Structure 1
Amino acid sequence: MRNLMLRATGVALLVCGAASSAYATDPTAKWCQGVKIAAFPGGPQGGVFANNVYNGYRQAELDLGPSVTYYFSNWDPNTMLNQLQQAIATKVDGIAFMGHPGDDATDPQIDKAFAQGIIFTTANTALPKAQAKYGPEGMGYVGAPNHAAGYALGAEAAKRAGIKSGDEAFVWGLKGQGGDRGSRTVGVIEAIEKAGGKVIYQEIDKATDADPNAGTATFVGVMKANPGIKLVVTDHGALTANVGVYARAASLKPGQVFFAGFDMSPNTAKAIKDGYQDLVIDQQPYLQGYLPILNLCLTKKYGFSGLDVNTAGAFVDPKNVDAVAPLAAKEIR
């Protein structure tokens, strides 16, 4: 009887041991503490979209525990490249970058970073050549598949605006920037032209890229010169947030022209409710901040490969804006 009890106790101990080994790692608070990261929100400090990305970065910093230094670039690719060189020189553990300068200009710096043991990942604008090369070492992408997102918005806007053969549409974008970012504007144009629309195109100049109010005169001029425009697409979150200003400056009434654009913001939500903005594709920029920090921490601590996440999965319009507006007011959506 005693031997049976001993054997039973031994079996119980083995089972307990197996159970405890299955849960060998307990959840750990601030598990990325001690890791140094350089993060690029993209635009001006406090600016539309850039602030949502920044809020995502800051929440990840708080949740996970790394030390993060921020670089605001006014959406200027040359500024981003100069700041990237500075970040690499500080010997951080990881860099969360926006790929606006493109592969050709950025990849030599990415090579340098990985050679020094610095993990590099991207958001908002992809660097596909570098990602293909360094994905196993932690380089991912969090954002929209830009050409597809541009095409989706252009097609949906053309459909809802009732664009027919020969109808005029004004596209205000960044085609000239080239690369993945420029491909989003190309996608918008291709979709409208496929629907039969005649595209009037205007490149967003550097001043308007940094401050959307600087483009008011440009918008008014285009609309006055082309009074038949039925559809306007603003391929820039800050310009989309300024649609109410542009429309009033051009003496447009709500609903007179169909407006479509990228990215939610408090002003965009208001423009939708006021009847000026009709359709927005939501890139969820908060995730473009939070997830790259998570990516870098997972790679640094556990050797995971890069995350690849499509954040542009939904449209916002007058029917569903009430669900998103409170989060837009907090600069989360």
Structure 2
Amino acid sequence: MKTIFLKDIAKHLGLSKTTVSLVLNNKGDEAKISTITQKKIFEYAKRNNYSPNHLARGLSRGKTETLGLIVPNIADSHYAVIAQQIEERTKEMGYTVVFSSSNENPKDEGKLIRTMLNRQVDGLIIASTQQNHNDIELLKKNNFPFVLIDRHYPEIDTYSIISDNFGGVKKATRHLIELGRHKIGFVTLDSKLEVLRLRKKGYQDTLKQNNMEFSMVKELDQIRYNQEMEGAIHDLINGTNKVDALIFSTHYLTALGLRELKKKKINIPKDIAVVSFDEMSAFDLLDPPITSIIQPVKQMAKQAAEVLINSIENKLIMEQKVNVLETEMIIRKSCGSN
């Protein structure tokens, strides 16, 4: 169904936009607009599924000193830390944060953006599904203050803060090669997410640069990765192409992979060295502790809050740039030694 705007209602009913706006904002009686006219406006708006332009309304209202944060999953330890750090920094700067999870669903993300705007937040911080181009473009078109964190849209100019996903995996792959590992496997998700694409590219490019012909990538389904991990590990540790090292592209894939390796009585790092992109708090407590690529999560979160609030306070149009922050490799015993 075609989207209609306030001006369309006014034109169809032969009324001014001011009259229509007053009625739809429940100020018809106050403005002494007749009951008949109000009824016509409400009925036409309802019949044509009119939705208020909260973006435009947000530009004209005063500040609420509230920010909206939308992440894929607030229960994920990675995003829990991001949320905690954003909340801490915004509180220091006199703002509060409203949290929501999109569950990696672009439609839910769009609904959450509109809900946040309806709640009249002053700005948004979004870890996007990267499948919600329309809403991101609309925010940009209306100059609504927002920052993309952890993920971004390469084809849309926005202010984005991300980790060096490509460089982080390059470090890990290079480290394993230096330790004499010649059959390095890579476990990731079958996903269109730019961050995962860059991690895989970091692995593949490093192998090519070191003239290594062996390459073994396992891409698991985004929904069924838990069930598929067992088969992936079986393939990676058996046959003529069995690996002597594994890089997992996320912390939760690492946890699942370690479980399967333990079930199959694989000795880490004697049989297989293991590196995780990102980590869980227990990784340094395991036997052996897991080598991890650490994202600058606290820096990302605080910077996102500071840049966004500065834009709001000073009424600045958001700068359009991708701020890539360096990752750090914490070397532990899961890689062995040279």
TM normalised by structure 2 equals 0.68
CA distance in 2, matches of 1:80, 1:214: 26
| CA distance 1:208–1:287, shift in 2 (3 Å) | farther
* Greater C-alpha radius of gyration: 2
Q: 1:53 aligns with which of 79, 82, 104?
A: 82
Report the counterpart of residue 277 of structure 2 in structure 1. 262
Q: What is the CA RMSD across the aligned residues, in angstroms?
A: 2.9
CA shift digits 1:156-179 (9 cap, x unpaired): 33333x234xx3x22112464153
CA distance in 2, matches of 1:214, 1:291: 37
Is 1:204 aligned to 2:216, yes or no? no
- Tell me the secondary structure at the aligned position of residue 71 of structure 2: coil
Report the counterpart of residue 69 of structure 1 in structure 2. 98
Q: Is the 8 A contact 1:174 1:182 kept in 2?
A: no
Report the counterpart of residue 140 of structure 2 in structure 1. 114
Is 1:34 aligned to 2:55, yes or no? no
CA distance in 1, matches of 2:233, 2:243: 12
Q: Aligned ranges for residues 126-275 of structure 1 at < 5 Å?
A: 126-131=152-157, 139-160=158-179, 162-164=180-182, 167=183, 169-174=184-189, 176-195=191-210, 196-207=212-223, 213-226=226-239, 228-255=242-269, 256-271=271-286, 274-275=287-288
CA distance in 1, matches of 2:78, 2:198: 19
- Tell me the secondary structure at the aligned position of residue 177 of structure 1: coil
Unaligned runs of 5+ in 2: 1-62, 334-338
Greater relative contact order, per chain length (Cα 8 Å cut-off, separation 6+) = 1
Q: Give the Å deviation of 1:259.
A: 0.8
CA distance in 2, matches of 1:143, 1:313: 10
Q: Is the 8 A contact 1:171 1:201 kept in 2?
A: yes
- Tell me the secondary structure at the aligned position of residue 64 of structure 2: coil
| CA distance 1:145–1:65, shift in 2 (3 Å) | same
| CA distance 1:308–1:262, shift in 2 (3 Å) | same
AA matched with 1:254:
I
Q: Give the Å deviation of 1:265.
A: 2.0
Report the counterpart of residue 296 of structure 2 in structure 1. 284
| CA distance 1:172–1:73, shift in 2 (3 Å) | farther
CA distance in 2, matches of 1:247, 1:156: 21
Q: Is the 8 A contact 2:171 2:329 kept in 1?
A: no
- Tell me the secondary structure at the aligned position of residue 254 of structure 2: helix
Report the counterpart of residue 151 of structure 2 in structure 1. 125
Q: Is the 8 A contact 1:175 1:185 kept in 2?
A: no
Q: Give the Å deviation of 1:59.
A: 1.3
Q: Is the 8 A contact 2:229 2:260 kept in 1?
A: yes
| CA distance 1:193–1:76, shift in 2 (3 Å) | farther
Q: 1:311 aligns with which of 325, 330, 334?
A: 325
Aligned residues: 266
Q: Give the Å deviation of 1:200.
A: 1.7
- Tell me the secondary structure at the aligned position of residue 270 of structure 1: coil
Q: Give the Å deviation of 1:296.
A: 0.9
- Tell me the secondary structure at the aligned position of residue 151 of structure 2: coil
Report the counterpart of residue 22 of structure 2 in structure 1. none
CA distance in 1, matches of 2:207, 2:108: 33
- Tell me the secondary structure at the aligned position of residue 232 of structure 1: strand
**Identity %, equivalent residues:** 11
Q: Give the Å deviation of 1:230.
A: 0.8
Q: 1:83 aligns with which of 112, 127, 140?
A: 112
CA distance in 1, matches of 2:224, 2:177: 25
CA distance in 1, matches of 2:106, 2:283: 25
CA distance in 2, matches of 1:171, 1:140: 31
| CA distance 1:314–1:218, shift in 2 (3 Å) | same
